[in-house]
Structure 1
């Protein structure tokens, strides 16, 4: 699975994608929470190394197969008359009048009212409960982790990986809220060397021996010794 942030003019979210997701399926899922129609959608992939490139259906029918190291998907609405752009323009115009929070909340044509009517974002009760539960579980797991200890990483869709827990904290280049664990893997099963967009958070370690994962995927303990590879025998040294 590939985990990315998805950012548009009105919202941002963190999503997981199967590597076999087609361009069409990607656009359909993005439309479901951004409101941008696929035919007017411009996708820009931002990679772990800071590089950016536009993703097109003609050249990237299965984009995550080509770019599994994407960290952020920037979504632009090319339809100037779309509801999304009208809401964005409305939001920009409202800010020019310097309305107070109380005055803004009373307006019936605002982005806030649109979100409330459509149960969007923080106004979606089920979504908010799930997010709060997820954040609570993350914090509980963080309390059980110890930097500098051996660890096991079990992410959805990937085999177990082991190494050392080297970092716990936010990555401001991504956002200032989400907590990440920096792992120095025993083998070259990571995506970086302990750095993200030019900022080093641990190490640096050997190329592809570093990675940042969610706390829920990590457990620490002395029992997580290096794994024996399939082509190695316990009877040989």
Structure 2
């Protein structure tokens, strides 16, 4: 009989597949789940299900001194981690807006402020038009920066990057022994940067920053926190196998 079990870990902000030793206690499991889900150990409520959409609870891991194998868990089952106090959790603070004070303006106050902004913008435009010794005027005369001709900007060559979509890769990291591996999903210019080529990578683990979209523009599709964009010089292309990240130095 196998001493490990492969299960899906699901929380309000994460979803991943993990392998756990059946001999670890519920307390040790919670310590690992805090690194995976971001939910502090005291706030965790863990229930076992046959499927993610199955509301039937097979077991609740309440006894922190019991071994995981005591609950008869099987491969493919789901551990649902509920946050009992999201206001104190990092991920909960990002998604819970109930505590955020709403800022509102009356229509009269909004109209007054809008009129003030319009007047200030008009005065600024007049002053810039009158003065010829400003940096802005210098840039306008010599067509520098945003005042440059479109044809000149369009003629600037974009360096060619020889990276193929679907290539396995490893992203540069300063942490020794930590490999950020994934698959290339996008290569090209982006709207969030004025120039240059960016490489979109789908990580093997949820250590990214997005789901393949930035500032409302989608460049590729992956699960949330699995996507990242990097410059080509931070990337190594090669036969990098999928390597499961060990979030705990403890060996069981």
Answer 1 or 2: which has greater strand percent. Answer: 1
Identify whether the pair has TM-score above 0.5, normalized to the shorter chain: no
| TM-score for the superposition, normalised by structure 1 | 0.38
When normalised by structure 2's length, the TM-score is 0.36
- Asked which structure has the greater CA Rg, the reply is 2
